[in-house]
Structure 1
Amino acid sequence: MTGDAALRDRLRRRAAPAAAAVVTVAAGLSVRSVLGGDLAKYAGDALYALLIFWLVLVVAPRSRAWVAAAVAFGVSVAVELFQLTGVPAGLGARSTLARLVLGTTFNAPDLPFYAVGAVAGWALYRTARGIRAAQRRHPAPRSR
């Protein structure tokens, strides 16, 4: 593969997860305006893990989907556990970005929703790959 072709391939592999990450951020920022209470909170948790899933694929596009899901879940749980130290709450008091990324207080019920987001990323990725593979095997007829 030539240098230009290799670059195009690397960019192509990152484009879909990057676009999915942007959509996920938009969904995460708007979920509280559409949903309320615990539903909004836990949807936000799932979207947080989903965002990490997409970011793993942007950074390491050749990763297997299950690896990206495991990393997304692990990072999400690590951030939640980090909240037990109080450091994220202190940072969040001074920075909106820190509050959005790290949260402020530990909440054990968040943990299963991180798994939901990671598994949703895996399922979406696998479904999209299956659709693309089917399209390559059976291309749509061209119109004349």
Structure 2
Amino acid sequence: MSLFLAALVAIPVGYGVRFATGITPEWFNNAVGNVAYESFWIFLVLAIWPKLRPPAIAIGVCCVTCALEFLQLSQDPALIAARRTLLGRLVLGTTFTWEDFPTYFLGSAIGGWLALRLRQQAQSLD
């Protein structure tokens, strides 16, 4: 349950910071948004499949996110159409940038570590 709640918290935190303007630099907003995005997917996958190992899921999420970043280079008509929707923009992204990769790695490391901690806390309460 705590991983599912953490996933729900990651959404407004990530997008709240990502789209905040004037308070912090744009690079910071994007970095925090990417960390929250990675963490969200790790928390969600582990909430759905609790027997999976957080480090493995963190690596998998990072690989998928990096693949999605490269997919942004594609001008396939189906992907262009998907990116025109809100969900498509949020999941697929719109613009390829090398600067996203370090924050994907960092986000996966942080999200994986937090997932481990949340799991340990839940087990200690049992």
Report Cα offsets for 1:32-74 as digits up to 9, x if no partner: 3254311001111111111111121123211011111111101
Q: Over aligned residue pairs, what C-alpha RMSD do you find?
A: 1.9
CA distance in 2, matches of 1:78, 1:132: 32
- Percent identity between the two aligned chains: 29
In the superposition, the TM-score normalised over structure 1's length comes to 0.74
Alignment of 1:88-103 (within 5 A): 88-92=79-83, 94-103=84-93
In the superposition, the TM-score normalised over structure 2's length comes to 0.83
Query: Which structure dedicates a bigger proportion of its chain to helix?
Result: 1
CA distance in 1, matches of 2:94, 2:125: 45
Residue type of the alignment partner of 2:46:
L
Alignment of 1:1-144 (within 5 A): 15-31=1-17, 32-33=19-20, 35-87=24-76, 88-92=79-83, 94-134=84-124
CA distance in 2, matches of 1:95, 1:134: 43
Conservation of the 8 A alpha-carbon contact between 2:43 and 2:115:
no
Larger radius of gyration: 1
CA drift at 1:132: 4.4
SS at match of 2:52: coil
CA drift at 1:134: 5.0
CA drift at 1:19: 0.9
- Which runs of 5 or more structure 1 residues have no equivalent in the other structure? 1-14, 137-144
The alignment of Structure 1 onto Structure 2 pairs a total of residues equal to 121
Report Cα offsets for 1:83-106 as digits up to 9, x if no partner: 1113445432x2122111111111
CA distance in 1, matches of 2:48, 2:106: 22
- Which structure has more relative contact order (CA 8 Å, sep 6+)? It is 2
CA distance in 2, matches of 1:131, 1:60: 17
